[in-house]
Chains A and B, each alone.
Chain A
Amino acid sequence: MERPLTKNINQAQPLNLKEYEAVGGYAAVRKVIQGMTPQEVQKVVQDSTLKGRGGAGFNTGMKWSFVPMGPDARHPKYLIANADEMEPGTFKDRLLLEGNPHQLIEGMILSAYAIQADISYIFLRWAYRKAAQLLRKCFAEAYEAGYLGKNILGSGWSLEMYLHTGVGRYICGEETALLNALEGKRATPRAKPPFPQVSGLFGKPTIVNNVETFCCIPHILNNGVEWFKGLSKSEDGGTKIYGVSGKVKRPGAWELPMGVTMRELLEEHAGGMLDGYQFRGALPGGASTDFLTADHLDVKMDFKSVAAAGSRLGTGTMVVLDDATCPVGFVHNLQHFFAQESCGWCTPCREGLPWVEKILLRMEQGRGKTGDIELLEMHSKMLGPGNTFCALAPGAVEPLQSALKYFREDFERHIIEGKCPYHSATEAPKRFSKSMVV
């Protein structure tokens, strides 16, 4: 089985430029800059069926194709790597950033060439200190070797690359909020249209892609469309970095063909549940995806199959719910996160999510009331797609609505018994209010 994205990963000592070149690194940059037009690169990436790995799953080449090209296009154009990995349960980009930073830089150079960008940023979350240190070192090496800077490899095309380390907030991962953060503003999302491809950072054409997406690009351009499609077990090309966390024997992340089943991930790669625990369900792609249950274990983990099962592939990093963990507590933890991370821009999200959190907390503390379940159901509709300014609240209610469907009995027991059946009353979680945060 081929693992192009991770075969050269070394977390103890990532490859330096010379070592990366020795395993074929930056060959794609030479090949592309000296022998392909930007439009040809876009076409190859579009034909490869690579879909964005940040969660939305849009065809990457098609996303690029909306960037104005030619002599009339406005410059500078920007290309941004979204390395603000903050989706709870997700740790795949950390692996790529810490394990082989040159691969990301190479992918960004190639992608920047495809849209003829002039300036690129890596928007990195603050907590990834090691990645920040490594990226700075790799930038210096790439500039030194002439892969970045003015007149790259004598092509006449120039690209600057900068590192921006964020100062927190999940919403920065939303691409238009990320642009506002880079402009020095509060990270509230922007209305679309105009789309960033036309009017993005500082009002100029901009592409934002996830780290894993960029890491696929050198391999597609080196090995071709058919090879990339052949890596996959589904209609979405390539491999995918999947992850599993929770009470399993071997939590971790693995690069596997796109479309392995949940069962394969859980049983073969994660080693099954820890002794004494049973599988009850999982969020297949991070905190903002609907639960799937034991009935779905044979679902293929690709965009279409997971959607058909009623959830989303999201980031492909699965969080497992076991039989000793309270589903209401689990969902309360998620809603606490989403309520806290709402940017506050639109009313349903700002007011609705704290309300949801409050209801779940009182259930967990044994103060749930008749009608609370219906109230939660109402919220999952009111905060759903189309009612809010961005995708944060609709994402937040995905695990809520599916928990109400699959674990309804647990919610009912909390209300009927007046306590959490999983904890004794004294252990009930306390509410951490926002005001406690500096």
Chain B
Amino acid sequence: MLSETEIHAIDHEVSLVPYKKAAVIEALKIVQQERGWVSDESVEAIADYLEISAAEVDSVATFYNLIFRRPVGRHVILLCDSISCYVMGYQTLYEALQQQLNVKFGETTADKNFTLLPNACLGCCDHAPALMIGEDLYRDVKVEELEGILKKYV
């Protein structure tokens, strides 16, 4: 079931496009914003509401890497693993994050506070290595700064 807030937001997106189906990505974003991730039930609810098949909604949901089809922690860490960050040593940050959080890429910490994901180029190559936590961007990150950064989210 979609909430009233979700329905209201989806209706607005539908009003901007020529047909309902075109709002499916926006609908997925709205549900994820409200619930943190997109469950099978949500996929079905969106499909019903937009009058398309659940398979079609899921094919879109699974295509895009920032739509989460599994529960994630309260804060998602996106660590840039692209070329400039590779040259500037993102691997050291990854090792430190694995140690401090006891998770690998794709995993969520036991206290469900963080999910750690690799991300393609964040567009801060002149300040590599870079990572995002939620909506916050960190640039020129040094290993010794990680603990302090993570503390802000505990």
**Contact surface of A with B, Cβ cutoff 8 Å:** 85-91, 93-94, 125-130, 162, 165-170, 181-187, 202, 243-247, 251-253, 283, 287, 317, 319-322, 325, 329-330, 333-334, 336-337, 340-341, 343, 429, 432, 435-438
Contacts and interface: CB of A to CB of B under 8 A. Distances in A.
B109 to A, nearest CB: 14
Contacts of B25: 167, 181, 184
Contact of B88 (A247, A321, A340, A438): A247
Interface centre among B65, B66, B69, B125 (most CB of A within 10 A): B125
B87 A319 contact: yes
Contacts, number: 152
Interface centre among A89, A429, A438 (most CB of B within 10 A): A438
B60 A86 contact: no
A438 B135 contact: no
Contacts of B106: 435-438
A167 B66 contact: yes
B21 interface: yes
B119 interface: yes
Given A89-B125, A184-B60, A319-B87, A340 B120 contact: yes
Contacts of B68: 438
B83 A287 contact: yes
B154 interface: no
A16 to B, nearest CB: 22
Contacts of B84: 88-89, 245-246, 319
Contacts of A87: 121
Please classify how large the interface on chain B is, using the bins under 10, 10 to 19, 20 to 34, 35 or more: 35 or more
A437 B118 contact: yes
Given A89-B82, A127-B132, A167-B29, A245 B125 contact: yes
A85 B69 CA distance: 25
A89 B68 CA distance: 26
B120 to A, nearest CB: 6
A340 B117 CA distance: 14
A334 B137 contact: no
A437 B105 contact: yes
Contact of B23 (A184, A186, A246, A340): A184
29 contacts: A86-B121, A87-B121, A88-B83, A89-B82, A89-B83, A90-B123, A94-B124, A162-B16, A168-B66, A182-B22, A184-B21, A184-B22, A185-B60, A186-B63, A202-B17, A244-B126, A287-B121, A319-B83, A319-B125, A320-B87, A330-B86, A334-B83, A341-B120, A343-B63, A435-B106, A437-B105, A437-B117, A438-B106, A438-B115
A121 B105 CA distance: 33
B83 A337 contact: yes
